[in-house]
Amino acid sequence: MKSIPGLFLLFLLLISNLSVSQNCSYVIVIHGGAGNIRPENLPPLVASTYESKLKEVLRVGDSLLNAGSTSLDAVETCIRMMEDCPLFNAGKGAVFNAEGKNEMDASVMDGKTGLAGAVAGVTTIKNPIRAARAVMEKSQHVMLSGKGAESFAKSQGLEIVAPDYFFTQERWNDYLKAKNKADSIEIIDKKHGTVGCVALDKYGNLAAGTSTGGMTMKRYGRIGDSPIIGAGTYADNNTCAVSATGHGEFFIRNVVAYDISALMKYKGLSLQDATSEVIMNKLKSQGGTGGVIAVDKNGNIAMTFNTPGMFRGYVKAGGEMKVALYGEK
């Protein structure tokens, strides 16, 4: 009889160790935009350049989370790396608006606290994702735009650059092509290139972030879904973290990122079913193109898109890593 409390204690210890080891797993997922990404549109050398950059970003995210960083830090760092890389339509390499300027949007959300921050229509902040996080952590607000966002970023010591820092010849050529073709936004016949990241850390906290130059030939002052919490970005520790990419107007009207979380919360859908419902059914039936990356509170992953391809990848605790560009056959 005497040994029963001892046995019970041992049982409790085992249970608590089990749950600690479960919580020790983490996941990070990134995207570099969705669109008409097909093998025939992407020379092999370009495709492998994208793949190696995605892997490099994932390796950094992996080592951060493995070392105990928060999902928020990992999301910010991974997005910052993609903003600094001219391959993607975010930060350096952002697309041009109808006036031949780069106007960028970004947002971040912390699933633990429900806090969020965003900047929209910024032209001189080197890393818009850092500014979005500063808005969340250092201001009373959720979103700042244009000049106000820029002066706030400066006051926070963030790096400010001349607008031509963001210039790349390739995006300029895309702009000239789009301008000559029509005065409508180019949607499907090119890759988008927005970047996003979602993560679950060792402590069970989710975070999501998105950063973009928007869409080539967008009207001056146009703001897409990427800086809109609930549309392009959403995170809630009780459900999932989501980052979107695609034709922003559809993502705003359908409140895509929040809709996925709400389907899980109120209808009990799995992460995969929720993302499929929104991207493959709802959005597709309206002609809305794009996709999302998402991770749920249990570390399940979804990378769902209704375009021919999406630059994407994930890494899980233990090292399982996958990077892909095209639709699965």
CB of 290 to ligand ASP, least distance (A): 6
Q: Does residue 33 belong to the site contacting ligand ASP (CB under 6 A)? A: yes
Q: Which window, 21-29, 146-154, 197-205, 223-231, contacts ligand ASP (CB under 6 A)?
A: 223-231
Q: Which window, 16-24, 152-160, 176-184, 210-218, contacts ligand ASP (CB under 6 A)?
A: 210-218
- Residue 65 or 208 with smaller CB distance to ligand ASP: 208
Looking at 124, 205, 212, 254, which residue binds ligand ASP (CB under 6 A)? 212
Contacts within 8 Å (CB) and 24+ apart, 16-24: 23/202, 23/203, 23/204, 24/202, 24/317
Give the active site residue among 194, 239, 245, 304. 194
- Residue 226 or 261 with smaller CB distance to ligand ASP: 226
Q: Which window, 38-46, 124-132, 150-158, 224-232, contacts ligand ASP (CB under 6 A)?
A: 224-232
Q: Does residue 186 belong to the site contacting ligand ASP (CB under 6 A)? A: no
Residue 208 structure tokens: 């999501």
232 in Cβ contact with 294 (< 8 Å): no
Looking at 97, 124, 226, 233, which residue binds ligand ASP (CB under 6 A)? 226
Sort residue 299 into left (φ over 0), alpha (ψ -120 to 50) or beta: left
CB of 246 to ligand ASP, least distance (A): 5
- Residue 199 or 256 with smaller CB distance to ligand ASP: 256
CB of 77 to ligand ASP, least distance (A): 20
Looking at 194, 216, 233, 306, which residue binds ligand ASP (CB under 6 A)? 194
- Residue 174 or 225 with smaller CB distance to ligand ASP: 225
Q: Does residue 309 belong to the site contacting ligand ASP (CB under 6 A)? A: no
Q: In what order do the strands lie in the sheet with 301-305?
A: 233-235, 240-246, 290-296, 301-305
Amino acid identity, position 160: I
Q: Does residue 111 belong to the site contacting ligand ASP (CB under 6 A)? A: no
Is 168 catalytic? The answer is no
Listed in sequence order, the residues at least 6 apart from 22 whose beta carbon sits closer than 8 Å to its beta carbon are: none
Q: Within 237-256, which residues bind ligand ASP (CB under 6 A)?
A: 245-246, 248
Residue 198 structure tokens: 């979602």
Q: How far apart are CA 81 and CA 254, in angstroms?
A: 29
Q: Does residue 215 belong to the site contacting ligand ASP (CB under 6 A)? A: yes
| Total number of residues that touch ligand ASP (CB under 6 A) | 12
Q: Does residue 224 belong to the site contacting ligand ASP (CB under 6 A)? A: yes
Amino acid identity, position 275: T
- Residue 209 or 246 with smaller CB distance to ligand ASP: 246
Using CA atoms of 153, 60, 53, 280 in order, give the dihedral in degrees to the nearest 10: -80
Footprint on this chain of ligand ASP (rule: CB under 6 A):
33, 192, 194, 212, 214-215, 224-226, 245-246, 248
Active site residues per annotation: 194
